[in-house]
Structure 1
C-alpha cells in the first residue's frame, strides 16, 4: 500500500508542531513531513523534536538546501537522527530556492554540480565509508563518521526539471516531487528518473514521494481556490483535491497508480486546524487506501 503523510507547514509557529506531530502519531498516519523554507524553521531541529515527541510516525524533512550545509556536517546530523530514531527519519537534500540562496550569500554557479557532489558524498558517509573527494564544491579528506547509521539508510533529493530528475536517478535513493504534480507529470518524472538510473546501472529501489495539495471541510473549495492561485497552479484535474475523505483518497490512489510510493497531503496555508487535518488524513483517508 502507498504510504500516506501530511505536511506541517513552516508558516505555522514552531510551538504548534507538537500538537500536529502527536495528532499524526495517534491517527495512524504513516509519515509527517516538515519543510526548511527560508526563513521559517530549521529542518533538523524540528525533525528531532517531532521524533522525540512521537512513538511510531516517520518524520521526513523535504528538503534541506545543500548550499547551506557542509556535506560532513549534514551527514553528522542525519546519522544522529537515524541512530536515535531507527527507521523513522527521512532526510531530503535539494537545490533550495535560488533567490533565497542568493539572499544568504550561498548561491553557486552550478547548483546541479553541487547537488550531485553532495549526494554522492552523503551516501558514502552514511554508509560508514571513509571519504576523500575534491570536487568543484565538496572537498573532504579522509572523513569518516564515528557514529554512522547502524544499517542502510536512504538519501533522497527533491527534483523538478529533467536534468535534476535524471540526477536523482543516478545519485539518490529517492525523489520528492512538489505539489501540483499530476499523475501524468508523475509518470513523466519517473521516466526521467529511470533514464538516470539506467545510465548509472542502478537496479535498487527508488522511493518517489509526491506532495498533494488537499483541503477538507465546509469551506474546502474556497480555501483550495485561494491556495491554488497563491501557488500559481493551473486549474486542471489532478493538480489538487478538495472534499471528503473519499475524494481525497481517490486523488491519492491516482498518484499511487502513476508510481508514487508516498503521497503527502499538503494543507492550505489557511487551514483552520492543522492538527485536525493530520488526524483526518490518518483516521479517515488512510483506511480507504488499504
Structure 2
C-alpha cells in the first residue's frame, strides 16, 4: 500500500502549526512532513510539538542539514523523539542547501564525505554503541547515548545527485526525494539507490519518500506551473493540479515509478493549509490503493 502524507510548509507561522496538526490528525492523515529550511524554524522543535498535540499522526522531518548539526546532538534529539513518541517519527538528514550552508559558515569541501561520516556515526549512536572516531569532519571521543531509542530507529537521507543517492542506498534506511521530482527521475533515483544497496550488501527494504507538488481549486494548474518554473523544474511533469481523482491518479504514477510514500506538497501560495490536509486525507486517500 502506498503511504500518503502532506507537507506543512515552513513558511507557515509556528503559532498556526497546532491548528494544522490537529486538522490533519482529526482528518485521519497518515503522515505530516516538516522541513528544516533556513531560516524558517527548527525541524525537531516543530516535530516534537506536533507529536505532542496529536494522538496518532506520524511525523516526518525531511530533512536536518548535517553541516548545521553535530552528530552527537542529532543523535540525542532523534533518540528523544523516538523514546517520547515510539513509532511515530521519521527523521531524515542531508547535505542542506549549499548557499544556506555557506551563509552560516558551515559549508564543507566534500558534502558527500560529511554525509557518509554522519550517517555511519549516527547509526552507531542510535544503536546504543560507544563511538570514537576521527574522520575528516566527524570527530567523537568515547560518545555513547544514555537514552538511545528503545526500538529500532530508521534513518532516512535526502539526496538528488548520483553519488549521494548511491550513498543513501549504502548507509541510510530510506531515501527522501525533493518536490518537483518527475516519475522518470524517481525511477533513476531508485536504480542509483539500489546500486548503493547492492554495493553494501544490503537486502533490507528501502522506503523511498517523494514530495509531489500539488494544488487543487481555482487556478491550481497555474499555481503549480509557476512554482515549478521558479524552481527551474519541469512545469508539466513535476507536479499535479486538479480534483481528488486527478491527484490520486498522479500518486499512483509516482508510486509505480518507485516511491513507497508520496507526500503532497502544497504550493507556497496555498490559501488554506488546513483544507489542504483534509483534502489529502479525506478525498485523495480513499482513491489511492
TM beyond 0.5: yes
Counterpart position of 2:204: 204
Aligned 1:114-125 pairs, distance under 5 A: 114-125=114-125
1:269 matched residue in structure 2: 268
1:151 aligns with 2:151: yes
Show structure 2 runs of 5+ residues with no match: none
TM-score of the superposition, structure 1-length normalised? 0.98
| SS of residue matched to 2:29 | coil
Displacement of 1:99 in angstroms is 0.7
Mean Cα deviation higher: 67-76 or 19-28:
19-28
1:142 is displaced (CA, Å) by 1.5
What is the rounded CA distance, in whole Å, between the counterparts of 2:3 and 2:27 in structure 1?
Answer: 14
1:223 aligns with 2:223: yes
Determine if the alignment matches structure 1 residue 195 to structure 2 residue 213.
no
User: 3-state SS of the aligned residue for 1:279?
Assistant: helix
> Structure 1 CA distance, aligned partners of 2:113 and 2:167?
10
Distance 2:66 2:195 in 1: 24
Q: How far is the alpha carbon of 1:12 from its aligned partner?
A: 1.4
Matched position secondary structure for 1:206: coil
Partner-residue secondary structure (3-state), 1:79: helix
What is the CA RMSD across the aligned residues, in angstroms?
0.9
- How far, CA to CA, are the matches of 1:139 and 1:185 in structure 2? 35
- Residue 92 (1) aligns with residue 92 (2): yes
Question: Displacement, 1:13?
Answer: 0.8
Within 2, Cα distance between the matches of 1:287 and 1:207? Answer: 22
TM-score of the superposed pair, with normalisation by structure 2: 0.98
Q: Conserved in 1, the CA contact under 8 Å of 2:224 and 2:235?
A: no
Shift in alpha-carbon separation, 1:225–1:236, aligned structure 2, 3 A: closer
| Cα drift, residue 230 of structure 1 | 2.0
Number of equivalences: 289
CA distance in structure 1 between the aligned counterparts of 2:29 and 2:233, rounded to whole angstroms:
26
Corresponding residue number in structure 2 for 1:248: 247
Residue aligning to 2:277: 278
Summarize deviations over 1:190-246 as a string: whole Å, max 9, x none.
Answer: 100011111111111111000000000122122222222222221333x10000000
Q: Does 1:161 align with 2:181?
A: no
SS of the equivalent of 1:96 reads coil
Partner-residue secondary structure (3-state), 2:82: helix
Partner of 2:286: 287
Q: CA deviation at 1:87?
A: 0.4
Q: CA deviation at 1:143?
A: 1.1
Q: What is the CA deviation profile of residues 62-107 of structure 1, one whole-angstrom value per residue up to 9, with x for unaligned ones? A: 1100000110110000000000000001111000001100110101
Counterpart of 2:135?
135
CA distance in 2, matches of 1:223, 1:108: 35
